[in-house]
A and B are shown apart, each in its own frame.
Chain A
Amino acid sequence: MAGPISEERVWAELGEIVDPEIPVLSLVELGVIREVDVREDGVRVALRPTFAGCPALHVMRAQIGERLRALGAAKVEVEIVLDPPWSTDDIAPEARPKLAAFGLAPAPSPVIALEEILTAPRACPRCGSFNTVLRNDFGPTPCRMIHYCRACMQPFEAMKPV
């Protein structure tokens, strides 16, 4: 049997698993992988939910288990951790343009004064216009909200700043 998988290899594999609801970002780019610990008998991954009720969490957990077992890990333990809480600031900066290309406006970063962030217009991910307005603090998934672009005359989705 081969020796234990390297930590680097585990991170690379996790970097290939995409968020089931935002398939342009990997779990690593999304910032939900808190820790990887390779041990003699297997791998332990600390996974942070974006939102506590995120229904994609179970899918992510199952996929991490499958992919790392396929790499040869005998035992994969995916622990849900809440600390420090996930923030939209944890999304990799280089991954943000991919969100916009997907039609999902990235959250302003850093998230400090929430009220100011929410009242300032967000750029429309389609046309770039700032002639936009927040329509709904909630959206199709817990981590998204809905804005409206007056230039496109179309709604668009945005990451909910947390």
Chain B
Amino acid sequence: MNLELRLPLADALLRLADDEMILAHRDSEWTGHAPILEEDIAFANIALDEMGHAGVWYRLVAELRGEDPDTHPDQLVFHRALDEFRCLRLVELPKGDWAFTIVRQFLFDSAEVVRLQALRRSEYPPLAKAAAKIAIEERYHDRHLRAWVRRLGLGTEESHRRMQAALDQLWPYATQLFEPQVSESELVAAGLFPASEPMAAEWAEAAAAILADADLKIPTVGPGMNGGRENHTDHLEPLLAEMQSVARLEPQASW
């Protein structure tokens, strides 16, 4: 690989890692609080899977940066400042009600299905292999979320109303899912990372079909919520304060 592309590729993977890590944290907030026991188990697992996937991406970031893949991920998660996180605003939002959680997870995971298929073709073998591994696990998320979108979209008047309200609120944030990165053209030209535009189109079509089957209408929105991953919602700060609090109490502790 062209050495000059190592750091841009690490930045691209850091975005994926941060998305998964922050979403995992939000998902974990349902542990012990989900509406039914089965979903308590399911969302604890989904949170754990996403955290595991974040770990895979963080390790690749470490390797590309020449850092230790065993220790660098913890540094990134627990000792990085707010303005250095590169997650989507979609994943920062508080967990909301169950419909909100389902719609957010569906939007994120359905985008991930498309992205992982494209990442499997990366010319950087460790990335292609990681994507293949994660794609296998994501099949279960995809199955689960599709079933819930359908169940709640076609369920009762109340469940449908809540799902539509969640979709109306979340859809503008979803435009950021495939926002091109600054150095995208170089990475795409080298075959290391897939281009955003075709993935965005493929995802929009697939997501629209599933939402339509659940009688949910995609809202018409303006230009959406682009504007860079340096910009965060006000919700990230308290999330990080909680997530990092224990590790920061004793930075030298081993776990």
Contacts and interface: CB of A to CB of B under 8 A. Distances in A.
Is B a genuine binding partner of A? Answer: yes
Given A85-B133, A160-B140, A162-B136, A53 B38 contact: no
Across the A-B interface, give the 5 residue pairs with the lowest CB-CB distance, nearest first. A53-B52, A52-B52, A138-B45, A83-B129, A138-B42
Contacts, number: 65
Nearest to B147: A137
Given A137-B144, A139-B41, A53 B133 contact: no
Contact of A142 (B49, B56, B59, B130): B49
Interface string A110-123: 00001000100000
B129 A53 contact: no
A71 interface: no
B154 interface: no
B129 A136 contact: no
A146 B48 contact: no
Interface string A26-69: 00000000000000000000000101111100000000000000
Given A162-B136, A162-B137, A51 B41 contact: no
16 contacts: A53-B48, A53-B50, A53-B51, A53-B53, A53-B55, A55-B48, A82-B129, A83-B129, A85-B129, A136-B38, A136-B41, A137-B42, A138-B42, A138-B44, A138-B144, A160-B140
B49 A140 contact: no
B140 A137 contact: yes
Q: Give the bracket for the number of chain B residues in contact with chain A.
A: 20 to 34
B124 to A, nearest CB: 13
Interface in B66-88: none
B133 A136 contact: no
A75 interface: no
